[in-house]
């Protein structure tokens, strides 16, 4: 599969066997950016009906006479789909924790739900037998045109159903249920991780991304949690941070870890950016880890909670 760095746009070849279903962390060998790669989902190409070449009316009359003409089911040829050959894969992974240690697989486990539309069953068009051959041929052609139109219409609709359903579920969502901590309708995207050398605390690992409010009402105090995992998937370290608190590269390199932690705990975010977030509004977030464990292999991130903006005013 082809992988493109989000930062420098460099492209690499990566074996699909190295990509786990939950995503794999990779590091660009050119710009050192770390990002998450997800497995590709192969799409089935719609079957294309190939119309058989019609025999001439004169030949058909000679062969079938003036009696009743039995219908023959037309064969449908399926197009064979072949995968493009991918060149030999280039080296993508480099040392993340030390100059001599090579990380073979690093991935971020991002929870993501994907809706799959089932292919509608094909409907057989039954054409009654006719005594007149000319009418039979016309009905066959009409049937093929109807089937082709049905398939084209279904393919056109299938690309839009998922988007429409998503809009309906968001617009008709009711108030926050009592057992909802305020994270069920928060979604994360553009999540990535990178290492930064801090002048006072040494190596830091920074998880960054964007959170989106999918609630029908305004939200405040969105809290994000990130976990570091070992090679067996066990959580070895966790940190939380409120959305809207963003660090520049210079701040990550020069601020003490105490100053960084203090900023991550600011509920309001920079310039009150984490207050009164409108529906479909987005906010950036950063979770910073220090004192990194030696067996760091993966990381996960999730929206932990948020507050209803109107409830805070009461």
Q: What pLDDT, in 10s, does the model give residues 190-247? A: 999 999 999 999 999 999 999 999 999 999 999 999 999 999 999 999 999 999 999 9
In this model, does residue 142 exceed pLDDT 70?
A: yes
Q: What is the pLDDT of residue 59?
A: 53
Predicted confidence at residue 70, as pLDDT, reads 44
pLDDT: which is higher, 151 or 177: 151
What is the reported pTM?
0.46
In CATH, what is the architecture of 186-313?
Answer: Sandwich (2.60)
Q: Higher confidence at residue 148 or residue 123?
A: 148
Q: Of 71, 70, 46, 51, whose CA–CA distance to 122 is shortest?
A: 46
Structure tokens at 7: 């930062």
62 vs 95, residue with greater confidence: 62
In sequence order, the β-bridge partners of residue 140 are none
Residue 130 is predicted with a pLDDT of 44
Strand partners, 2: 13
| Per-residue model confidence as pLDDT tens digits over 38-86 | 787 765 554 444 444 444 545 544 544 444 444 444 443 333 334 344 3
Domain locations in the chain as residue ranges? 2-78+88-171, 186-313
Is the separation of the CB atoms in 292 and 206 below 8 Å?
no
End-to-end CA distance of the chain: 53
Where does the pLDDT of residue 249 fall: very low under 50, low under 70, confident under 90, or very high at 90 and above? Answer: very high
User: What is the CA angle 148-150-151, rounded to 5?
Assistant: 65
Do you know the residue count of the chain? Answer: 314
Q: Is the pLDDT of residue 159 over 50?
A: no
């Amino acid at each position: 599969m082809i992988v493109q760095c989000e930062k420098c746009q460099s492209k690499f070849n990566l074996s699909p066997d190295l990509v786990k279903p939950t995503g794999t962390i990779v590091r660009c060998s050119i710009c050192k950016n770390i990002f998450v790669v997800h497995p590709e989902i192969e799409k089935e190409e719609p079957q294309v009906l190939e119309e058989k070449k019609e025999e001439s009316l004169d030949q058909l009359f000679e062969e079938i006479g003036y009696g009743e003409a039995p219908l023959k089911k037309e064969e449908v040829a399926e197009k064979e789909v072949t995968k493009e050959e991918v060149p030999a894969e280039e080296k993508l992974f480099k040392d993340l924790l030390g100059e001599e240690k090579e990380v073979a697989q690093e991935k971020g486990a991002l929870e993501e739900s994907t809706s799959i539309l089932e292919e509608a069953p094909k409907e057989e068009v039954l054409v009654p037998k006719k005594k007149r051959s000319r009418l039979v041929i016309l009905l066959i052609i009409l049937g093929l045109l109807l089937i082709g139109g049905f398939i084209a219409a279904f393919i056109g609709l299938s690309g839009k159903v998922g988007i429409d359903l998503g809009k309906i579920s968001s617009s008709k969502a009711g108030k926050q249920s009592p057992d909802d901590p305020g994270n069920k309708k928060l979604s994360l995207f553009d999540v990535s991780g990178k290492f930064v050398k801090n002048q006072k605390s040494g190596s830091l690992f920074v998880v960054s991304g964007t959170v989106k409010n999918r609630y029908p009402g305004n939200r405040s105090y969105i809290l994000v949690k990130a976990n570091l995992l070992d090679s067996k998937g066990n959580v070895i370290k966790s940190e939380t941070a409120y959305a809207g608190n963003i660090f520049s590269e210079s701040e990550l390199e020069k601020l003490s870890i105490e100053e960084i932690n203090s900023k991550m705990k600011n509920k309001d975010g920079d310039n009150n950016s984490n207050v009164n977030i409108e529906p479909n509004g987005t906010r950036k977030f950063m979770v910073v880890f220090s004192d990194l464990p030696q067996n760091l292999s993966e990381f996960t991130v999730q929206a932990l909670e948020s507050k209803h903006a109107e409830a805070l005013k009461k």
